[in-house]
Structure 1
């Protein structure tokens, strides 16, 4: 190791020379290695004394290559290989590298070029050799000429990104990174060029950025949903309390309308959470006609008045097994996309019907199992799409809209595709330029049954028995919940966070029949508070409330022993039945 250490110290001081097989191509090989070194950087090396220092890949490879050939043999090796064509060997080396390479002489003529770079340029190797770069690449040369001239003066060029037609995929662009190095060719200055395809790296980087954006939207949506649902809980609760005592028919009508509007408003946070992917998807038996009708009410005021919205519902439609929030998002994305394709107005049609797909049709539609399906069609009379656009519409981040446009980011249709696949369906697209587009989606007939929870008429005589501990940090929600429980006949304790709730439960647990816990609270959340209550009383009965949507933690708490989940905002009737189930 001491001998190697001395050699390395000598190399690091700059007193090294590479004595390879061919001195005439050593500069080219050094430049190639330097290009690799530029990509890989440096790494630490430990010497006998225990000290560390950084060593560049360039120095490592060139130094080791030099040491691999004993000095006494180098002259013989050089004589044996003198007859090898220098440039031919250089080209062979370049063709073996995982990126494109070329060598230009002092007049910027191609001396050598790898097959990879020739293909990137869209020409053969022969079409480059001996020709001025401007004659071969007239469009690119003006952009790179200032940099090439500096390199001829001995100044390396910084890595630069550029876009060019993809040599493998016609009609598409790829992103490349080039790097220009100064070299010497027979005493004259020259340029060594490396070009690397970084399209996949750029795509991954864009995907990461978009995923971070989606995560940010999700967290923002979660915060909005939490606050919004807490406020709606107050509106729901106090309106129902007023409704119970009201005798005037006109006032009853107004109060019921307030509740109906609040129920519609409660759907908005759920859609926000679904868009931000902060809500877990749960497949249930759903009636597609009802989902479409609900979305119609939301779409009608959203899309431009110049667009006529038509609904055509199939009779006796099969139930489908799907997440209703996801189907909402699917319909919304497709309809907004269709509306944007009709800037001068037109007709947007939504149709549902039952269909039976044969073996042949199922094979054509992605190997589905033949049988009963529910078909959802969304058709517009807009600008349509070319065949090339149709082939790419489900690619993440692909968009035909202008960069920076507020209309889209290339995520709407990929989300549609994901939702369809998650729900075991298939999506088919038919489009013609200037005639419009039709998206046809097939969902398998569902196997699940509709929830058969029968809500009995609300009994508000106030004869319910028991004491309930409320652990809720929002004062408005806590106050209206206490008022509703007291109206139902329950006694209540109220605390504002998990810490206070655990302390009170520790003192009064023998008197408390059930606990209503909010999951998100300061100081101590619902999950931790429930665990501590279980330590006090292993048979504690708790009901979880959340305004954030189901994001996974609720399911974990159900497995821990929480008796049920009550989504905010909830009605007094839903609260009463949940408590009956909790205490029974």
Structure 2
């Protein structure tokens, strides 16, 4: 029976004498170490040991025999064994001592711990992995007990909530929530998650150590044991303050872009109407009129001019107005308008101007910069009915990636900032969300058009800059305009063409291409008043056909945006290729995208509606004479 027990034992069982030689082994020993029994019998037990156990083993036995000291005998310990193939593996060795016929023997029971070692390695690996994730995950990771006490608090959580680990450990998990009324529902959802979905996903307001609240998204997982009882609660939170801000900015940007497209189209149509109105009024001015009729005519002309200024502001908001950018120093612009600002603001408002020196240069339309500052100053004045302080500042700023403007993240780089600040009544968040929309105003009826800030917005965006506005009711408002730094030197202004006289024709014939019948008829009448013969076409395709048929003209005056399959740009391009000596002048209600993309200003002069007869006469005469002079120089 004893032999049967030894043969069937899972553990390796062997016996050695007091010299360390192996006297018996069971089958499990052969399996464990890879030796046959006859290879082990009468061999020193050291053959089954790696260093340093192999060298030290005989000393252990000798010392025990002499002194009775027990290092392993009757105790058991974890050591290492060595197989026949040389591999080393962990074992648990239990040694006992017995006497047979007065001679001392030792028995050893050995268990292979390889599987346990592998399991421990996996546990260690998983622990290291958890520790790495716990320490470096960017979201706040909070592990709490079933009774709601925080057990673990990762570095991201300390950064988001403001508690250090010692403060958070043992603190109530519920203290992290900014709205206590939401907790019962959250707890209910967590309790139901055990039976249904494993996770609870929520959007919630959380609270920092300093008491401030912030929006967050979270995933809460209830971990249960084998009996389906709650073990720990794992909460992952992410601060979505910047995400919501960017989303709100994107929505605002899309809304303003849609309004801009609508506004630009309306302004373009109005420019056509104003061209007809102002042009015909100009023609009427040349007629003999009674004094009272001339007064009516002057009033109508002034109204048409006001309409033209209104459409310019609409086009600026829509970023479709043709600007005249130049390299300028914003300090110069502020200095030149300081006295105007003081007169505009009045005695009750203290104007403070702070100009950085040296200030980087920018490329912008100087007139639009001055109009923007003046508009902001007027708004600030109206926001301080009892008086106050208005500050205009300039400074150089370097923006980093991720800084947010009105719509989106500001492009990193060097900028010049011009700020207008007041300590007036300020604005609510609802007003701030719409402040740059055209026609939106909080002023009484008749006090404002609602186009001031929208015009500034359009000008700044068209200049590749950005704008921010900060306001708080009862505290005041600050508007920051950012314009990109320009490394060019400020250019000298060219003398503008004098429009005091109207150059007339020298027997030339002009091809007028315009799809709007009334605008076309007005243009023809104007040209005839200047002494030009005219040929009319209602589309680019019709004009092309006329030129291909041999129609002789001295210049082509064409609208840019026309139906019929050929724009004015396309017609001008065709003429440049087929009839390079024929001058082309373009006209448009705004700087159309096609004109911008084709850099039309570089190749052909453009008259922007509504234009005066003097502008038409001067541009036409200069273009024809310039072309003629070039042809003469080529012949010479």
Pick the TM interval, shorter chain: 0.5 to 0.7
CA RMSD of aligned residues (A): 5.2
Q: Out of 500, 513, 533, which is 2:542 matched to? A: 500
User: How far apart, in 1, do the equivalents of 2:293 and 2:334 lie?
Assistant: 33
Say which SS state the counterpart of residue 244 (structure 2) adopts: helix
For residues 232-291 of structure 1, the C-alpha deviation after alignment (integer angstroms, 9 at most, x for no partner) is: 100111101111122434433432343233223212222222223334543259996999
1:537 and 2:564 are equivalent in the alignment: no
The residue aligned with 2:238 is: 196
For 1:433 and 1:507, locate their aligned partners in 2 and report how far apart those are by CA, in whole Å.
70
| Contact 1:334 1:413 (C-alpha < 8 Å) held by counterparts | no
Q: Which residue of 1 aligns with 2:163?
A: 123
Structure 1 residues 90, 244: closer, same or farther in 2, change over 3 A?
Answer: same
Tell me which residue corresponds to 2:615: 574
Deviations 1:418-458 (A, max 9, x none): 9599799x99x9x9997978999999996532643112423
Inter-partner Cα distance in structure 1 for 2:208 and 2:238: 12
Q: Which residue of 2 aligns with 1:107?
A: 147
Q: 1:324 to 1:258 in 2, by over 3 A?
A: farther
> Which structure 2 residues correspond to residues 481-560 of structure 1 after superposition, within 5 A?
481-509=523-551, 511-523=552-564, 524-549=566-591, 553-554=595-596, 556-558=598-600
Contact 1:103 1:191 in 2 (8 A): yes
Pairwise CA distance, 1:206: 3.0
User: Contact (CA 8 Å) 1:100, 1:117: kept in 2 or not?
Assistant: yes
Contact 2:134 2:141 in 1 (8 A): yes
Query: Is residue 321–residue 448 contact of structure 1 (8 Å, CA) maintained in 2?
Result: no
Q: Distance in 1 between matches of 2:153 and 2:421?
A: 52
2:430 aligned residue: 403
The structure 1 residue matched to 2:493, chosen from 433, 449, 461, is 449
Decide whether the 8 Å contact of 1:321 with 1:423 is kept in 2. Answer: no
User: Can you list the C-alpha shifts for 1:45-95, whole angstroms capped at 9, x where unaligned?
Assistant: xxxxxxxxxxxxxxxxxxxxxxxxxxx97643214576x699898555322
Q: Does the CA-based 8 Å contact 1:179-1:195 persist in structure 2?
A: yes
Q: Structure 1 468/421 Cα, relative in aligned 2: closer, same or farther at 3 Å?
A: closer
Aligned-pair distance for 1:492? 1.6
Give the Cα separation in 1 of the matches to 2:499 and 2:586.
20
Residue 269 and residue 413 in structure 1: after superposition, are their counterparts in 2 closer, same or farther (change >3 A)?
Answer: closer
Deviation at 1:490, TM superposition (A): 1.6
Distance 1:158 1:482, change over 3 A: farther
| Contact in 2 for aligned 1:471/1:495 (Cα 8 Å) | yes
TM norm structure 1: 0.63
Q: Give 1:489 deviation, angstroms.
A: 1.9
Structure 1 residue 517: Cα displacement: 1.2
Partners of 1:332 and 1:582 lie apart in 2 by 37
Unpaired runs of 5+ residues, structure 1, are 1-71, 313-319, 353-360, 368-375, 385-399
- State the 1:377 CA deviation: 9.8
Higher relative contact order (CA 8 A, sep 6+): 1
Query: 8 Å contact 1:148–1:180 — kept in the other structure?
Result: no
TM-score, scaled to structure 2? 0.59
Consecutive unaligned residues in structure 2, runs of 5 or more: 1-112, 353-361, 399-417, 438-451, 626-636
Residue matched to 1:315: none
Q: Measured at CA, do residues 158 and 553 of structure 1 come closer, stay the same or move farther in structure 2, by a change above 3 Å?
A: farther
CA displacement at 1:323 relative to structure 2: 0.8
**CA separation of 1:140 and 1:121: change in aligned 2, threshold 3 A:** farther
1:478-506 CA distance string (max 9 Å, x none): 11111111222222222222222222222
Q: Secondary structure of 1:382's match?
A: coil
Residue of structure 1 aligned with 2:173, choices 123, 130, 133: 133
For the residue of structure 2 that corresponds to 1:241, the secondary structure is helix
1:126 alignment partner, SS class: helix
Work out whether residues 133 and 141 of structure 1, in 8 Å CA contact, stay in contact via their aligned partners in 2: no
> Do the aligned partners of residues 332 and 208 (structure 1) sit closer, same or farther apart at CA in structure 2, a change above 3 Å counting?
farther
Residue 215, structure 1, aligned to residue 263, structure 2 = no
Aligned to 2:442: none
Q: Deviations over 1:490-540 (max 9, x none)?
A: 22222222222222222244x111111111112321112222333432322
Distance 1:517 1:164 in 2: 63
Number of equivalent positions: 459
Q: Give 1:151's aligned residue.
A: 190
Paired residues of 1:468 and 1:492 also in contact (CA < 8 A): yes
> Cα–Cα, structure 1 residues 133 and 173, in superposed 2: closer, same or farther, change >3 Å?
closer
Q: Distance in 2 between matches of 1:219 and 1:516?
A: 27
Aligned to 1:29: none
**Pair 242,348 (structure 1): closer, same or farther in 2 beyond 3 Å:** farther
Q: Tell me what 1:236 maps to.
A: 278
Deviations 1:216-242 (A, max 9, x none): 233122212211111110011110111
2:251 aligned with 1:224: no
1:413-492 matches, within 5 Å, as 419=460, 447-449=491-493, 451-458=495-502, 464-492=506-534
Distance 1:570 1:209, change over 3 A: same
Structure 2 matches for 1:34-433, cutoff 5 A?
A: 75-79=116-120, 90=130, 93-134=133-174, 136-137=175-176, 139-153=178-192, 154=194, 155-156=196-197, 157=199, 159-164=201-206, 174-185=214-225, 187=227, 188-189=229-230, 190-279=232-321, 281-284=323-326, 322-324=364-366, 326-327=368-369, 330-331=372-373, 334-335=376-377, 337-339=379-381, 341-342=383-384, 345-347=385-387, 382-383=424-425, 401-403=428-430, 408=435, 419=460
Question: In terms of Rg, which structure is larger?
Answer: 2
CA–CA distance in structure 2, aligned partners of residues 144 and 194 of structure 1: 16
Is the 8 Å Cα contact of residues 163 and 174 (structure 1) preserved in structure 2? yes
Mapped to 2, the partners of 1:117 and 1:101 lie a distance apart of 6
